[in-house]
């Protein structure tokens, strides 16, 4: 452990002294020039982190990816929020949420804050995006429903305007969340569409069987409201429930699956189906919303499945299900 320096002051004296947040300061060579006790405890060294290369203290499978991210942050003077599978050396192999911030004052390096991902803070981004997703989905559904009534009931015009204002406010929050830089995901099929008041549905198509897998009941309800006029929707609230239904022989044309869930993730569900029902694994659409994960990013780079960012508009969701349902005909 080095003596306090101006570099530590740049990280913030209060955070540097924190017992629950690990802090590591790195230079342009990705070498640690200072670190606090919490970080050194996490990697299992006492006063021995100085001079270590920062990427070698993370899980072996993400060393290269993590190094690339650090270089990009240093060059861009940006910041990123991500999740590491674990830190090397520590006794508990728990994931860590990392906030990495570039700084030229630190010799083209930066500061990393490491937070145990089992804490509530690790789920903040996930919870915000989930809440936004079902809030915006329900607002858009209400806007669509009232728009068709305003000609005959002009007194609803004020209600419609209020809903549109609320939707615009939610959209601003969504844009703020998207400003958090995520890890590069090469070659992914991704539906990245600006949300807002949805277009009226005009396209017809196959009435699809849709399974929604999300640990947030409100998310399943919002998706069911949006899709039910056109499709048959079943919502379950855990990957294990989905696996049970699919194992009993239930068939679905499209499976909308949250990637980040407790106990069993969307990643794990995909792995199980790949072994037992590969034709269903191909029908999974991964709904993503954080936290931003190196493990998740690596997984999503390797699968051909479509990805749908939360929050999404009803129009985008309907069009996606319509196009995927056609492929199963």
- Structure confidence by residue, pLDDT tens digits, 100-109: 888 777 768 8
What DSSP element (H or E) covers 7? helix 6-11
The tokens for 63 are: 């060393």
d(CA 191, CA 189): 7
| More confident of the two residues 92 and 84 | 84
| More confident of the two residues 121 and 155 | 155
What's the Cα-to-Cα distance from 10 to each of 2, 70, 235, 314, rounded to whole Å?
15, 18, 48, 44
d(CA 6, CA 102): 16
CA atoms within 13 A on the CB side of 104: 3
How many C-beta atoms surround the C-beta of residue 107 within 10 A?
16
pLDDT of residue 255: 97
Give me the sheet containing 109-116, strands edge to edge.
Answer: 32-35, 21-26, 109-116, 96-103, 79-84
Between 271-275, 293-297, 322-326, the lowest mean confidence (pLDDT) is in 293-297
pTM: 0.55
Q: For residue 58, give every residue at least 6 positions away whose Cβ sits within 8 Å of its Cβ, in sequence order, or none.
A: 66, 84, 85, 86, 87, 88
Least Cα distance to 36 among 115, 123, 118 occurs for 115
Kindly report the CA angle at 82 between 239 and 188, in degrees rounded to 5?
65
Domains and CATH numbers, the chain: 6-118 (3.30.450.20), 124-327 (3.40.50.2300)
d(CA 44, CA 89): 5
Dihedral class, residue 298 (left if φ above 0, else alpha if ψ from -120 to 50, else beta): alpha
* CA 199 from centroid of its chain's CA atoms: 26
- Structure confidence by residue, pLDDT tens digits, 176-226: 555 544 443 334 444 444 333 333 333 457 899 999 999 888 888 889 888
């Amino acid at each position: 452990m080095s003596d306090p320096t101006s570099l530590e002051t740049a990280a913030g004296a209060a955070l540097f002294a924190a017992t629950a947040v690990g802090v590591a300061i790195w230079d342009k060579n990705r070498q640690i020039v200072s670190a606090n006790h919490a970080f050194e405890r996490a990697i299992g060294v006492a006063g021995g982190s100085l001079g270590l290369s920062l990427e070698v203290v993370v899980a072996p499978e993400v060393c290269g990816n993590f190094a690339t991210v650090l270089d990009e942050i240093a060059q861009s003077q940006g910041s990123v929020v991500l999740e590491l599978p674990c830190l090397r050396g520590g006794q508990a192999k728990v994931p860590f949420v990392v906030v990495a911030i570039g700084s030229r004052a630190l010799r083209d390096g930066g500061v990393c804050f490491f937070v145990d991902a089992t804490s509530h803070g690790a789920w903040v981004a996930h919870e915000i995006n989930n809440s936004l997703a079902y809030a915006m989905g329900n607002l858009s559904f209400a806007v669509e429903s009232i728009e068709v009534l305003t000609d005959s009931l002009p007194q609803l015009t004020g209600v419609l305007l209020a809903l549109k204002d609320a939707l615009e406010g939610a959209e601003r929050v969504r844009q703020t969340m998207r400003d958090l830089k995520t890890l590069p995901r090469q070659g992914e099929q991704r539906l990245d569409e600006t949300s807002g008041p949805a277009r009226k549905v005009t396209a017809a198509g196959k009435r699809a069987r849709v399974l929604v897998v999300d640990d947030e009941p409100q998310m399943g309800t919002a998706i069911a409201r949006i899709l039910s006029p056109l499709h048959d929707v079943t919502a379950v609230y855990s990957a294990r429930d989905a696996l049970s239904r699919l194992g009993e022989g239930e068939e679905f044309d499209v499976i909308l699956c949250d990637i980040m869930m407790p106990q069993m993730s969307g990643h794990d569900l995909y792995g199980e189906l790949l072994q037992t029902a590969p034709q269903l694994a191909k029908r999974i659409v991964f709904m993503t919303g954080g936290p931003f994960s190196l493990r998740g990013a690596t997984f999503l780079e390797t699968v051909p499945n479509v990805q749908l960012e939360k929050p999404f508009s009803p129009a985008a969701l309907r069009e996606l299900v319509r196009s995927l349902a056609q492929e199963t005909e």
